[in-house]
Amino acid sequence: MQPLLLTGYQRTLTRAGIPSPLQAAYTAAAAYMARRERALTLTVRHLAPHELQPHLLAVLAFGCVSDDTADHNPGNTTTVNAWADHTIKALDGSPTTHPVLRALVHTLLVRKTPDHWARIFITRTRDETHFDGFDTDDEFAAYVRSYVHPFLMMSVAVQYPGAADDRQAEEWLPLAEALQRIDFLSDLADDLSQGRLTIPRQDLTDHHLTPCDLAFPTPSPRQVAEVLRLMCRRARTAHEASLACADAAAPTYRRMALAAWDLQGRRLARCETAGLQLLRRAVPVAKTDALRVAVSDAIRQWNSH
C-alpha cells in the first residue's frame, strides 16, 4: 500500500519530467524514504520544488539504503561489499534492476551531477562494517568529512546544475557535522544496544567512565549526565553554526535547507530534555515537529510578501 505521504506522487513525477518507465523506480525510492524518514519526507514533499522532489528523495533513499545495509550487517563485509560493487557497476553504466539505483543513476544524469559524491560515499560505506567508534572528537570530525559530508552532498549537489564546486561543498560541512552529532545523540540507545560506541572514548576517560557505565540504568548517573550534556553542547554549537548553510543554498532549495535545519534543531531540543533517557530509547524526529516546521515556513513566506 502506498504511503499517504505519496498521494499524488505520480503527478509530481510527471511534472518533474521522470519518464514513465522509471516512475515505478522513483516511487519505490520515495516509499522507502516515507517509511524510514517520515518527517524528512514530509518536509521534502511540502517545501521542495516539484521538479526537485523525485531527485532529492532518490539520492536520500540511496544514502539510507547504503547506510542501513552497513548498520544492519555489522562485520558482514560480504553483504556490504556486494551492495557497494552493485552500486559502482550501476554508476559505470551496467544495467540494474534495483529501483533505488535506477532512480539514482537517472537523477545524476538529468541533473548533470557528477557521481563522485556517490562513489566516495559508497566506498566509505565498506568501512562501516568495522566501525569501532572514536578515540577523540578530532576522529569524529574526520569521520564527518569522509563519510557524512559526501552523504549530504549527494542531495545538495542535485540543486546545482553541474554539481557544487569545492567552495560550495565546503560551505555545507558545518551542516554535516551538526546532523551527525544530533543523529548520534538521538540514536545513542540503539547504537549501544548493537555494540556501537559513538561517544569519543577520551570523553569517557575524562569523566572516569568506561563504556560499561553507559548501560541503563547507569551506575554512574552524575558523570554520565555530564558527558551527555557535553555531547548536547557540542551538537547545539554545531547546529547554530550550520544556519549559515541556508545562505549557501540555491534560491529554489533555500526553503528546504531552512526547514531541515529547523527540524533537526527541534530533534536536538528533545535530546537535551531527555537526559539519561538517551541511554534507554532513541529520539526520532517527531511528526508534530515536522508540522511545526511547516507552519514556521508558512509564516516566513507570509512575512516575506
CATH at 281: 1.10.600.10
- Summarize the confidence of residues 118-133 as an average pLDDT: 91
- Give yes or no: residues 90 and 170 share one domain: no
111, 131, 151 — which closes off a domain? 131
Last residue of a domain, one of 109, 131, 153: 131
Q: Are residues 49 and 137 in the same domain?
A: no
Q: For residue 20, is pLDDT > 90?
A: yes
What does the pLDDT look like over 242-290, one tens digit per residue?
999 877 777 777 888 888 888 899 999 999 999 999 999 999 877 778 7
> Can you tell me the mean pLDDT for 129-150?
94
Q: What is the pLDDT of residue 161?
A: 63
For the chain, how many structural domains are there in total? Answer: 2
Percent of the chain with pLDDT over 90: 65
Who wins on pLDDT, 286 or 240?
240
Mean pLDDT computed over every residue of the chain? 90
- Cell, residue 40: 524528512
Give the residue numbers spanning the domain of 76.
1-131
Q: Which of 88, 113, 131 is the last residue of a domain?
A: 131
- Using the structure block, give the residue that is written with the C-alpha cell 558482514: 76
